[in-house]
Structure formats: C-alpha cells, structure tokens
Structure 1
Amino acid sequence: MARGLRRRARGQRPDRRRPRNRHNDSRGAAESRRARSHRAADRFAVTRNFRSGSTSITWMAPYFGYARSDKRRGGRTPVMGRLVADFAESAGIDHVIAVDLHSQQVEGFFHIPVENLSAVPAIADTLKSHLEPESVIVSPDAGRVKMASAYASRMGCPVAVLHKERLNGRKTAVSRIVGEVRARPCVIIDDMISTGGTINNAVEALIRVGAAGNFIVAASHGVFTSEARKNLNPIPPSGKSS
C-alpha cells in the first residue's frame, strides 16, 4: 500500500501486478524445460529432412501429450498445446497426424492440416471377446461421453456417465452416475491414463452403487506416471485392464 501511495505521489500508476504463484511458476518451468527438450529434438529432425531435399514434412504424433494443456488453469500457467503447435509450424511442419487428442479444440491451435485418428475401432474390436453379458460402457466424466458412445455403438452396449465435481485445484470426486450399472460388469474407457486417479475414482463410485466386481479399463494412451501404481493398486483384484 505504501508503495502505491508513493507512486501516486510521484504521478505514477500503482503496482497492480498479480502476486506470484510459486506452484504454477514451478510447474510452468518444468513444462517449459520438457517442451524445449522435445522442440530441440524435433527441430533437428525437421532441419535434417529439409536439408536432404524433403518438400513436405508430416509430424506423426500418436500421443500429443501437450493436448492436456489446452487452456489456462492459473494466472501464470502456460497453454503448452498452443506453444507446441506454434513450434511445429515455425519448424516447417505442414501436416500433423495424431491419435485421440485429449480435446478437439487442440486442432484449432494449428494453422496446418491436422488428422485426429481414433483408436476406438481397434480397441473395441479387441474388447468384444472379453465382454460379459449385460456389460455397460462407462464414461469417467462428461468430456468422454462422445468416445463412450463410439465404443457402445461398436460393441452393442449401453452407456453410463459419471459426473464429477472439483474439490480443489487437483482433486475431484464423482457426484452422480447417469445410467444403470447395478449388478452389471463395467467397461471404463478414457483417452489416456496418466496418474490413474480418474480410473480409481470411477471404480470406487461404481462399487458404491452396486456394480458387479468385474471391471475392464481401456484407454488409447497409457502414460502411467509415478503416481499411477499407488492410485491403481486399490482396484479390486477381480478388475481387468486392457
């Protein structure tokens, strides 16, 4: 306050800068370091291809990890998805092929053609032989309803949706379940499994409402961070994963 008064006395504008958020700063710095490392490797590859006479470069990115950073989640948190898209174009890449992007809006970060392929047909066809009678496809949150519907259509199963509420910046809890899951085997689908927290919460919520003890978990991308083992271990032994 004293600083602001002194600035006003000298005819200057008060300091309106936001307080530093050390958590966001450190996370952003870590993401920036990882981004620089990947950008350097990709830039070398692109440059080498151009020097060898390539007229066009297609970036095959089956797992576009930065797609999860598609919006700001704090005052100083970078939107890494947009940053990597800008890098790709500045490096000379003119076509991107990805698989099951975390959100469709990531395609809008690019000004070059983006093909978002789906692994759902291949995974669904594999799961058919493991299905039990009366199985239900479960979307772990509202954002995966479209993917769950694609699985259900291909596998001939009904859909159930878990709705989550955010408890704080990092934790969520299932608030309600839409669909009939009581005494029925459940197939939980997602685009990726990172920490395993979403899957663990889904299994606990389904057990509470009386779902059968047999679970199949299917995801396009198995990232499995260091927290995944701790979060996935509590899943009942009868659960299955794919």
Structure 2
Amino acid sequence: MLEGSVRDQIIVALDCDHERALSLGQMLAGKVGWVKVGMTLFYSAGPAIVSQFKDLGLKVFVDLKIHDIPHQVEGAVRAAALTGADLMTVHGLGGSSMLKAARRGVEAAGTDTRLIAVTILTSMDETALREIGVDTPLAHEVDCLARLAHDSEMDGVVCSPQEAARMRSLLGAHAWVVTPGVRPQGASAGDQSRIATPAQAVALGASHIVVGRPIVQADDPVCALEGIVRELSSSSEAV
C-alpha cells in the first residue's frame, strides 16, 4: 500500500525501550513504511523484535553498523538477515574484504536483505575526524567510502543529507542513499552535526530519510509523522 509513496521514504528510528517501541510500531503501522531497529533496541529486546515489527506490516531496517574482521561480519550479517531484516548496515571503514564478507553473509542466508555501508557518522564533523587522525576533508572521506561500498557490491550508503547529492551522482539513480540527521524545521539538532529538513534531504538525492526523536519524543507521534508526510508531499508536487 505504501510502496512508492512518500511514506515509504520515511524510516522511523525507534531508539527506545522494547515496550515503547512496540507501542509506537502499533501506532505507526499502515502510516509509514519503515522502522529502524538500532543498537539500543536490538540489544535490549533481542532479534525477535524484527519479526514483531514485520507482523505489524512494517519493513525493518536493522542498523547495527557491523564492523569487525571479515569472518565475524559474514556470520553476524547472516544471522541478522535471518531475523527478517529488510535493510542492514555495515561500516564502510571495515574495508573491501569486510564488505564482501557481509555480502556473502546475505547470500548464505538466502534472503533479499539490502546491505548499505555507513560512511561518516552524522554526529561527526572535521574536528571529530582530526581527533582520530584523519586530516583529509570530510567530503573526501565520504566519497572514498562510497566508492569502496559500490565496488564491494553494497546496495548503497548511509550519509548525511549534506552529502546526498554527491552520493547520488557517484552511485547512480538506483542506489540507496539513506540519510539520518534529518530534522523538521524548528526541531532540535540534538547530537547531530550535519543535518537537513526532510524535504531538503530528499531534494538533495536521499532515497530514504531516518527520523527518530522528532517523532518518537513528540507528544503525538502520529501527528509529527503526518507533518513530515505533508512536507514531503508538498515538496514532490512542487517539482
């Protein structure tokens, strides 16, 4: 029902406890295409949380940013894919051998799970990169990791909205360009450094936007979601 609509471009990040996450899932089912299960929820609720959301008719993005030696990553990705995850993250900084091992993990699971590589976290800026010894410009690092992801058979990347246009140009029309760091106009940036509004992110080339706290912490999460849907709908009609 939601396939191809602006609602299918929105991924609601449920970074909360199990009970609250299920309540939100029930509230949002049929109104949004995706939910994101990150570390906070996955580690507290366990892998079964994926099937619980799938039973509600939601697609599930398992965002664990898997990053380890290739052997461990292959096994971890296979296990995560078997939970029913529709989309999953690995970290591009693991290199080509690790990314290719992740692809083998999905193939071993026999699922159609999409794999996307994290580039540079949206909480980081160039000062943060210098702290870990990376002196090249942030944009260069994102480009480098995106090319690595493409060459390693990833389905796309995670990047900030500010890099979305460049990612679209580098990776082509069919790549998944998933952007966290999305904040509706007037919302607090929180711990995000490189942000944009939902309409700006999609206009820049994002295939999907990740929105968490502005929906999850709202007094009325459905109302907050509908505001984003209206913004994206108005923007697409104006094009």
Q: TM-score, normalised by structure 2?
A: 0.29
The higher-RCO structure (CA 8 Å, 6+ apart) is 2
Q: Which has the larger radius of gyration?
A: 1
Higher helix share: 2
Higher strand share: 1
